[in-house]
């Protein structure tokens, strides 16, 4: 074993993802991660005090990779209606891509996310905050007529759940999905608009 290796939490998480991909969630252990890093499992535990904390960190890392590009959209300048539509379409596409590009890892992450309740709650709150920021921009621009940006953002998040919540992933390959998304987004944007006509 090479205990002289400088371990970082990020390196451990990268290797943990590789180990999960190789062995699957049910069989992967901290010892497997340590072996892949060529260190003792105690070295891994110095960064992550338990298997549960390591698994939660892996789930958070995965969720953060979905959230980061959406944050860029939320912070862009420009008309809020177009930004909100782009943000929602990017969210749907990101979730769809996770399911289609690597279904085995998606299943693993879905299980991890179910275990990591705090990470999932924080992720959802962060996404709702991004939408609230876009809504507030729209109110400031005079494009949206809403009373409370945060409440409206949560309502939008809930109204679009079918297109981003993993529990609905079995429906995402439906050929009618794009048309349904178009209709829902048109309805949402019309409902937010200052001029409803």
Residue 114's domain is classified under what CATH number? Answer: 1.10.357.10
pLDDT score, position 26: 84
Residues 123 and 183 in one domain: yes
- Does 197 fall in a domain? no
Residues 35 and 75 in one domain: no
Helical H segments across the chain, by residue range? 9-23, 30-37, 41-47, 51-75, 80-101, 103-115, 117-141, 149-159, 177-192
- Per-residue pLDDT reduced to its tens digit, 127-152: 999 999 999 999 999 999 999 999 99
- Does 3 fall in a domain? no
Task: Check: CB of residue 62 under 8 Å from CB of residue 109.
Answer: yes
Of residues 5 and 150, which shows the higher confidence score? 150
Name the residue with tokens 């979905």: 66
Structural domain for 37, as ranges = 9-47
Residues 79 and 152 in one domain: yes
> Considering the entire predicted model, what is its pTM?
0.84
- Does 4 fall in a domain? no
Residues 118 and 179 in one domain: yes
Residues 37 and 68 in one domain: no
Q: What is the rounded CA–CA span in Å between residue 15 and residue 49?
A: 17
Residues 119 and 41 in one domain: no
* Number of domains within the chain: 2
- Per-residue pLDDT reduced to its tens digit, 17-42: 899 888 888 888 999 999 999 999 99
């Amino acid at each position: 074993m090479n205990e002289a290796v400088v371990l970082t939490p990020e390196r451990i998480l990268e290797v943990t993802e590789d180990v999960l991909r190789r062995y699957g969630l049910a069989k992967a252990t901290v010892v497997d991660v340590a072996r892949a890093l060529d260190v003792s499992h105690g070295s891994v535990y110095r960064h992550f005090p338990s298997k549960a904390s390591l698994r939660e960190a892996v789930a958070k890392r995965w969720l953060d990779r979905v959230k980061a590009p959406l944050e860029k959209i939320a912070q862009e300048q420009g008309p809020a209606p177009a930004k909100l539509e782009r943000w929602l379409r990017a969210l749907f596409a990101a979730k769809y891509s996770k399911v289609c590009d690597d279904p085995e890892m998606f299943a693993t992450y879905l299980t991890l996310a179910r275990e990591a309740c705090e990470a999932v709650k924080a992720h959802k709150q962060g996404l709702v905050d991004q939408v609230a920021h876009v809504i507030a921009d729209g109110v400031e621009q005079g494009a949206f007529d809403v009373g409370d940006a945060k409440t409206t953002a949560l309502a939008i998040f809930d109204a679009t759940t079918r297109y981003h919540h993993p529990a609905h992933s079995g429906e995402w390959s439906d050929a009618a999905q794009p048309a349904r998304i178009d209709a829902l987004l048109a309805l949402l944007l019309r409902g937010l608009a200052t001029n409803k006509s």
